[in-house]
Structure 1
């Protein structure tokens, strides 16, 4: 058995104030009540909320505060993510801090939630790191998981635990829960998905094991979620098959097909027919009906 304990923190996130003092308090409580926890994970954009208005300069002192508290408790710390201003662009970036208080990597969300996460630039580099004596971990942020290529890339590079900070406050949370479970099963790994509350999401964080089964699903209130994982289960699933049945990673390795849809420079005529990546609007027929009912009103659909 290779046990490793992760504490997820599902907490209220404000969109108009700095949430870091509350995050530090939650870490204090987590490490006091559950001193055996070895890694602490927060939700996406938990530090400042979901508005790019509060994007921080890079580098900044917030990272130093997180580094100090990770070192004090001797924990791995992934404090969600925050918007960073870098090279004239805004990125949605998560950091990974080791128990010595050192930043071992930064990850820019690859797939901003367009067309809603306006003005955010996607990253193009994966982040994977080793926890000595335990196993290999990787990062994925929220909408990234909707693109299975991201998780599969982590898995084929040996990642055994995908840490997935998310901010889902929309009506598709049930779908995302299914995606987390499917990602764990098809990649035969743990997925540790932490959502926020209030402006940070609707909660219902979820942790799934390498057989796709749900280990824990949170409610819609504040929670500390300490879970002990056994990474030997990942090795066993990948070698013997999920529930001793399907072996998707081996089948992917041994495949005969070349997926030419991924060739560099490939165009997608059928997808081009779908139109631009833009927010849906009212149907033209509805607009015309409203205009005929209220002539001269010059109604416009409100922006979001």
Structure 2
């Protein structure tokens, strides 16, 4: 690899039943990725267990933990052992009754490089996240690491061009999205295709509009809903890495898989020279973007 090449790994997997089992699997997969030269590892959203937001249940708060806490300690040990930077996703208990959907970045020496609290919180059938998570208050601030400045966002954030743009304007060299998204089992085949295509398209557009690579890691497998009238979610996987023109560098299927991809970190500069979107922005004309709606 050249000095400008960053080898990344995306760990796409199904829920293993509990935090210990999921972290054991993650440790094994990171060891395998590090053996293949991975320097940066991206995990999926809320990887320690099932996607519990399919229902509103106060007992689920028992699974939240402080940051730093047990999971950051374990992940830090894995990062230090294999000399990789890890982007992980945890259910953070900040204080009594105050919880966040939080991404953490572990440096290759095992230290906590930074965190990002999910800013956009959905509230849809099967995705009742507003019951659990307070919107983030850390802003769209990239996290500096030994492998670059990382623009870490989380799942629902991926639908918002404003979030990607602000990360890019703050100097992010990569956009990374831990994700948990899948199909409602009541949707027909056509609707499933449209939803997945929209998910892929919006994130590739962030790469194009900002001239930087995008990494998105989604979970796989079917997870039942605790609600009797809800058929559950089939997580569609399809984790991917796109280059700064939205080009596919790698894409996973719908089963457990580790994507290992070489990303040319120097390419963003050459792309931005021919597509100077940041140069031509009309920042003098965008004040209305801070309004909810223009009547």
Scaled by the length of structure 1, the TM-score of the pair is 0.79
1-structure distance, mates of 2:83, 2:117: 25
Aligned to 1:12: 14
For residue 48 of structure 1, give the secondary structure of its aligned residue in structure 2. coil
**CA drift at 1:55:** 3.3
Aligned to 1:92: 101
Query: What per-residue deviation string (whole Å, max 9, x for no partner) do you get for residues 251-300 of structure 1?
Result: 11x544132231xxx55476xxxxxxxxxxxxxxxxxxxxxxxxxxxxxx
**CA drift at 1:51:** 1.4
Aligned to 1:56: 64
1:83 equivalent in alignment to 2:106: no
Task: Name which of 109, 115, 118 aligns with 2:118.
Answer: 109
**CA drift at 1:63:** 1.2
1-structure distance, mates of 2:8, 2:83: 13
Task: Name which of 222, 244, 253 aligns with 1:219.
Answer: 253
Verify the 8 A CA contact 1:9 1:41 in the aligned structure 2. yes
Aligned to 1:191: 214
Aligned to 2:80: 71
The alignment's C-alpha RMSD in Å is 1.9
Query: What per-residue deviation string (whole Å, max 9, x for no partner) do you get for residues 122-155 of structure 1?
Result: 10322412344x5422101111021111000011
**CA drift at 1:57:** 2.5
2-structure distance, mates of 1:215, 1:143: 23
Task: Name which of 149, 157, 163 aligns with 2:170.
Answer: 157
After superposition, the Cα gap between the structure-2 partners of 1:236 and 1:169, relative to the gap in structure 1 and judged at 3 Å, is same
1-structure distance, mates of 2:11, 2:262: 15
The unaligned stretches of length 5 or more in structure 1 are 242-246, 271-304
Aligned to 1:30: 33
Verify the 8 A CA contact 1:97 1:103 in the aligned structure 2. yes
For residue 6 of structure 2, give the secondary structure of its aligned residue in structure 1. strand
For residue 279 of structure 2, give the secondary structure of its aligned residue in structure 1. helix
Aligned to 2:182: 169
Verify the 8 A CA contact 2:207 2:213 in the aligned structure 1. yes
2-structure distance, mates of 1:258, 1:165: 29
Verify the 8 A CA contact 1:105 1:127 in the aligned structure 2. no
Task: Name which of 104, 125, 128 aligns with 2:142.
Answer: 128
The unaligned stretches of length 5 or more in structure 2 are 54-59, 184-191, 224-233
Aligned to 1:279: none
Aligned to 2:237: 203
Verify the 8 A CA contact 2:174 2:214 in the aligned structure 1. yes
Bigger radius of gyration, 1 or 2? 1
